[in-house]
Chains A and B, each alone.
Chain A
Amino acid sequence: MARPRTPPTHRARLAHRALGHALRLAVAGLLVLLAGVLAGLAEGGSSRTAARGHEREVTARRGPVRYTLEARLDDARHEVHGRGTIEWRNDGAIPQRELWLHAYLEAFRDSRAPLLEPDMARGFRGGAALTHLGGLTVKRLFARELDVDLWPRADRSEPTDVRVPLPRPVAPGETLTMEVEFIAALPSLVLRTGFAGEFHMVAQWFPKLAKVEPDGRWAHFPFRRFSEFYANFGDYDVTVEVPAPMVVGATGAPVESSEQDGRRRVRYLAERVHDFAFAAWSGFEEIRQMAGDVEVVALFPRGELEEAELELATAERGLRHYSERYGAYPYRRLTLVRPPPEASAAGGMEYPTLVTTGGSTRGRAVGVRALEALVLHELAHQWFQGIVASDENRSPALDEGLATYAEIEAMDAMWGGASVFDALGLRVSSEAVSRIVAKGVAGGGPLDRPAETHSDGRSYVGLVYARPATLLRMLAKIYGEDAMRRALRRYASEQRFAHPTPSDLVEVVRREVGEQAAIALRRGFEGARLDARVVRFASRKGSSRASWEGTVAVAREGSLEVPVELEIWAESGARSRLVWDAPGSDASLEWRGDSPIAAVVLDPEGKLLLDEQRRNDSRGAPRPTPRLYGFFGLALSVVAEVLWP
């Protein structure tokens, strides 16, 4: 889900290289455009074949649910009137005596609901006050096969997590068809869903079946501040009706459209997805572009064409990158919705085949890429959450961690070691920022734990996004990028259209990267920490002439036991490497060289991203610091000029 607010480092300012970036972008845009035109001319036939391939994959195996809904937006009352059918097949191993339905909008029925506790928002989204309440009123839930309206018997003691007893057990393989009628009252936009002025982000709006796990257990949960979603793959056939001036962006692809009496009706089909959301607003403008055989549509507020073009270009690049890393994007269409500024609480969220964006292009002059990072993050969710649909409520760190990993990897692959800041001669990568956020929550407990156990936004962002992502990046750096790439590729392909758990990720890492990496990953998910350091070194004359022997004592706190590299600087200037690759909290390593040891650097390549302190990583003599004097001297000169007489 939503990406955390940009860390402060992203926001650093001051000018450099603006023109360079702009030019590069313009050239890249032109090339992409040209390539698109040429590809379109030359490969019309083959792209049609590929599109058929897509359809084969998404229709290959029917999911256990099918929603056929009509959604009529009453824009004056900010309500969606819904009716239609929900088909459910008991996919579990045992007969079911009850259904569980999520009514997420019920969380917005009370402005003092725990969901909206402002203290919890600190460091994360959703701190604004709820000025207009929401809710989901179900009028009817008639089960055809049972010939009974199930809703009157529903147990709604937890309004977002409703238990619906069945008059008789439904056997494995048996299907229920429920006729449903409901009114979704949208709240003022505080957290992902709702309205702001005329802008409507319609998400989590219909009564939604919880998922039956293979063992027959229902994975259901009350909707809380950090909860996200979890559901079966299924087919959605949704007809959206809005006032005619409104432009709609929705999950899936439009198949029919008509206009009558000032109302516009568009029918969307989305197959093999696990949610359906749409945005409707009369202020949208639209641009689109083909990315291979995927049509990317960007909806954006008037006056933000520059941002929308950048989003489109980033999405196109991201689709290519992720498809190569994690398998082809299986759908025909991707919709980017850029909410207007007053609706920014809707931005930065992923739904199947639709993502909401945000972020400004301000700061590009100094290499800050907030907008690109947001698009790449939400786009990564099309794989890690969309296609590989892990339980976001029970294990939010799994999909957010992988999406953040993918985002960091893509950012640094596209823009190198200066992917988030590049000015004043200083360059900062996305990975470095992630490491700092991750180490800020060291000792914060397990990463793999249910969403509702997080106490505030800072802990949530650190433990769910940054730390798992940084842990995976660290293992990639230590055990090899190729091995990690293979592991994630395998995870994404084995779990395509499936519902994995963290152990499935650990398992592919075991197979592709190795036992030691898998143990580190498991321990890391359990909350393990790492602080490695050089304790001391000594050297003495060796037995032969011109040879020296030394010992280097190293130690580590925490149970993340990964190989630790050491670089030994001899007085002659020669450098050599030692590796501490053994379990335990300390070790003494032997060294041989041509002169005494002058200094020892632990982790010279900066692979130990979760190492909590770097100040204890080196031993030797303190060095002069002319650069720091130059940098701070310049800064103080500027301050004096501005503030002094």
Chain B
Amino acid sequence: MTRATLVASVFAWAVRAGFAILGARPLVGLAAAVIGEHPRGDAVVWDEGGAWLLEVADEGRAALRPVMVETAGGAFVGLLAWSIAIGAMLSAARAGASSDVRTWGGLALRRASSLALIGALELAAKAAMFLFSGALVGFAWRLVEPTSRGPNAFVVGAGLGACAAWLLGVVIELARAELVWVDAGIWGSLVEARAWLRARSFEVLRAAGVRALTVALGLGLVSHVVTGSLPTHPYVALVAVLFGAAVPVVARARFHAALAACFEAPPVNP
């Protein structure tokens, strides 16, 4: 790993970790207000029976709307910072070990508005995909198979939505690479990305698959550690959350390296 990639990755990790902790603040505040001044603090939420858990959920519901607005605002700011961080990682992926931070970092900043725009569009498209596919499959399912046994239609729909969203994410990541590496403009990058995916679909999808698998396994493991240690070792859980923020970053860096190799390889015959 080059120094440039390391610096960009640390920045990206800081964005993810910062979002996890700072973004949680309004929700934590809401829950803490319900717990009040109980000397056992937030440990009561994990008590067997869940009396406090439900109390927090029930009392918190009343004040949830402003808190969700705040969290969504934080998520949007985080998204913009994350878009720039990905740009920096892409830039670093082809900058070579000796490059000056100002050179590749500046590149990411110059593309910041385009990266942010693409990021926002991607978020909107993904959210729409989840909602639509969930609802659509839910509806179709009820028509054909109304038993209580089958998998939950919404879950099936969301699963399909996740696959579509994943594919969309891959294409957009290629567009981002085009944007940072070639500066083809947003539209030009999207067109190039499609062509790229067609020409090198195997390598690209394999690398994207490895990334998705790494993230899924990594976050699954982190979730297991976090939920398991929360009641008794809350600070271990906190560290696990911070560590967890590195999982998508590392997977991303490896993905970018694969893309860069693919980008620099001599073109294959169509």
Q: Which residues of A contact B (CB under 8 A)?
A: 9, 13, 301, 303-304, 306-307, 341-342, 358-362, 416-418, 421, 424-429, 431-433, 435-436, 439-440, 569, 598-599, 601, 606, 613-645
Q: How far is the CB of A430 from chain B (nearest CB, A)?
A: 9
Are A435 and B38 interface neighbours, CB within 8 A?
A: no
A244–B162 alpha-carbon span in the complex (Å): 49
**How many whole Å from A344's CB to the nearest CB in chain B?**
8
Name the one of A307, A440, A615 contacting B35, with C-beta atoms under 8 angstroms: A615
Indicate which residue in A301, A417, A613, A622 contacts B49 across the interface (CB closer than 8 Å): A417
The answer, yes or no, to whether B231 is at the interface (CB within 8 Å) is yes
Cβ B49 vs Cβ A428 within 8 A: yes
The residues of B that contact A624 with a CB separation of less than 8 Å are: 41
A-side contacts of B48, CB under 8 Å:
416-418, 427, 429
Residues of chain A contacted by B172 (CB below 8 angstroms): 645
- Contact between B148 and A307, CB atoms less than 8 A apart: yes
| CB neighbours of A625 from chain B (8 A) | 28, 31-32, 35, 41-42
Smallest CB separation, B196 vs chain A (Å)? 17
A569-B39, A623-B40, A629-B21 known; A641 vs B31 contact (CB < 8 Å): no
A-B CB contact pairs (8 Å), 12 listed:
A303-B149, A341-B148, A418-B48, A436-B57, A614-B36, A625-B41, A627-B42, A627-B45, A629-B24, A636-B75, A645-B169, A645-B172
Which among B35, B118, B169 has the highest number of chain A CB atoms within 10 Å? B35
| Contact call B230/A631, Cβ cutoff below 8 A | yes
- Which chain A positions have C-beta within 8 A of B50? 417, 421, 426-429, 432
User: Main SS of chain B's interface residues?
Assistant: helix
Interface contact B215-A425, CB-CB below 8 Å = no
Contact across chains for B53 and A634 when beta carbons are under 8 A apart: no
A622 and B222 contact, CB distance less than 8 A: no
The answer, among B35, B82, B118, B222, for a CB contact under 8 Å with A640, is B82
A-contacting residues, B194-240, CB 8 Å? 215, 219, 222-223, 226-228, 230-231, 234-235, 237-238, 240
Q: Give which listed residue, A433, A598, A627, A638, contacts B39 with CB less than 8 A.
A: A598
Does chain A have a CB within 8 A of B119?
A: yes
- Chain B 4-43, CB-CB to A under 8 Å as 1, else 0, gives 0000000000001001110110011001111111111111
- B residues 137-168 near A (Cβ < 8 Å) are 146-149, 152, 155, 162, 165
Task: Report which of A421, A440, A630 forms a contact with B230, defined as CB distance below 8 A.
Answer: A630
Q: A304-B149, A630-B226 are in contact. Are A622 and B20 (CB under 8 A)?
A: no
Query: With A428-B50, A626-B235 given, is the CB distance from A645 to B173 under 8 Å?
Result: yes
**Closest residue on chain B to residue A567 by CB atoms:** B39
Q: Is there an interface contact between B148 and A627, defined as CB atoms closer than 8 Å?
A: no
Interface residues on B, range: 35 or more
Closest to A440 in B: B58
Cβ of B70 under 8 Å from chain A: no
How many A-B residue pairs lie within 8 Å, measured between CB atoms?
220
B20 touches A637 (CB 8 A): yes
A632 touches B24 (CB 8 A): yes
Contact B32 A425 (CB under 8 A): no
A341 proximity list for chain B (CB < 8 A): 146-148
B252 CB, nearest partner CB in chain A, Å:
10
What separation, in Å, do the CA atoms of A429 and B54 have in the docked complex?
Answer: 10
Closest to A301 in B: B147
Using CB atoms, name the residue of chain B closest to A620: B37
The verdict on B245 contacting chain A, using a C-beta distance below 8 Å, is yes
A436 touches B54 (CB 8 A): yes
Contacts of B123 in A (CB 8 A): 643-645
Q: Which residues of B are found within 8 Å of A598, using beta-carbon distances? A: 39
CB neighbours (8 Å) of B21 from chain A are 629, 633
How far, in Å, is A48 (CB) from chain B's closest CB? 39
Q: Is B52 an interface residue (CB 8 A)?
A: yes
A614-B36, A642-B162 in contact; A636/B24 too (CB < 8 A)? yes
In whole angstroms, what is the CA distance A623 to B36 when docked? 9
In the bound complex, how far is the Cα of B227 from the Cα of A413, in angstroms? 26
Given contacts A436-B58, A615-B35, A641-B219, contact A431 B146 (CB under 8 A): no
Contacting pair A606 B51 (CB below 8 A): yes
Inter-chain contacts of B234 with A (CB < 8 A):
626-627, 630
Q: How far, in angstroms, from A306 to B150 measured CA to CA in the complex?
A: 12
How far apart sit A255 and B230, CA to CA, in the bound complex (Å)?
59
Other CB < 8 Å A-B pairs besides A301-B147, A307-B149, A617-B38, 14 of them? Answer: A13-B155, A361-B148, A615-B33, A615-B36, A627-B46, A629-B21, A633-B23, A633-B241, A634-B222, A637-B20, A637-B245, A643-B126, A645-B82, A645-B118
B185 at interface, CB cutoff 8 A: no
Expressed in whole angstroms, the minimum distance between the Cβ of B83 and any Cβ of chain A is 6
Residues B54 and A628 in contact, CB atoms below 8 Å apart: no
Are B59's CB and A637's CB within 8 A?
Answer: no
Question: What is the minimal beta-carbon distance from B246 to any residue of chain A, in angstroms?
Answer: 11
Taking the closest CB of chain B, its distance from the CB of A306, in whole angstroms, is: 8
Among candidates A13, A361, A435, A640, residue contacting B51 with C-beta atoms closer than 8 Å: A435
The answer to whether B219 and A629 have CB atoms under 8 Å apart is no
- Select which of B23, B75, B147, B230 is within 8 A of A303 by beta carbon: B147
- Chain B's nearest CB lies how many Å from the CB of A562? 17
CA distance A429 to B50 in the complex (A): 6
| Structural contact, B33 and A643, CB atoms closer than 8 A | no
Question: A627's contact among B43, B55, B118, by CB below 8 Å, is which?
Answer: B43
Q: Which residue of A lies closest to B145 (CB)?
A: A341
**Which A-B residue pairs are the 8 nearest by beta carbons?**
A623-B41, A428-B50, A417-B48, A360-B148, A632-B24, A630-B237, A417-B49, A626-B234
In the bound complex, do residue A360 and residue B149 qualify as a contact, i.e. CB atoms below 8 Å apart?
Answer: yes
Q: For the complex, is B244 an interface residue (Cβ under 8 Å from A)? A: yes
Q: Are A616 and B36 in contact (CB under 8 A)?
A: yes
A358 to B245, CA, bound (A): 43
**Is A628's CB under 8 angstroms from B32's CB?**
yes
Complex-state Cα separation, A424 to B231, whole angstroms: 11
List B contacts of A623 (CB < 8 A).
37-42
Q: How far is the CB of B185 from chain A (nearest CB, A)?
A: 18
- Asked if B16 and A640 sit within 8 Å, CB to CB, the answer is yes
Output the least CB separation between B239 and chain A (Å).
Answer: 9
Contact B241 A630 (CB under 8 A): yes
CB of B119, distance to nearest CB on chain A (Å): 5
Residues in chain B near residue A439, CB distance under 8 A = 58
- Flag if A618 contacts B227 (CB, 8 Å): no
Among A427, A634, A643, chain B packs the most CB atoms within 10 A around the CB of A634
* B42–A615 touching, CB < 8 Å: no
Contact present for A636 and B51 (CB under 8 Å) = no
**Best-surrounded residue of B118, B169, B223 (most CB of chain A within 10 A):** B223
Residues of A within 8 A of B83 (CB): 645
For A424, the closest partner residue in chain B by CB is: B227
Q: CB of B127 within 8 A of chain A?
A: yes
- Given A636-B19, A638-B219, A640-B82: A618 and B38 within 8 A (CB)? yes
CA distance A439 to B31 in the complex (A): 18
Nearest Cβ in chain A — how far from B254, in angstroms?
A: 16
Chain B positions within 8 Å of A641 at CB level: 215, 219, 248
Question: Is B122 engaged at the interface, CB distance under 8 Å to the other chain?
Answer: yes
Contacts of A436 in B (CB 8 A): 54-55, 57-58
Q: Which of A303, A440, A615, A629 contacts B28 (CB 8 A)?
A: A629
* A70 vs chain B, min Cβ distance (A): 35
Q: How far is the CA of A429 from the CA of B52 in the complex (A)?
A: 11
Cβ of B88: which chain A residues have Cβ within 8 Å of it?
none
- A635 proximity list for chain B (CB < 8 A): 24
Partner of A637, one of B27, B57, B235, B244: B244
A246 to B72 Cα, complex, angstroms: 56
Of the listed residues A360, A417, A628, A639, the one surrounded by the most CB atoms of chain B closer than 10 A to its CB is A628
Q: Contacts A362-B152, A418-B48, A639-B75 hold; do A613 and B59 have CB atoms under 8 A apart? A: yes
- Bound form: Cα–Cα A606–B45 in Å: 13
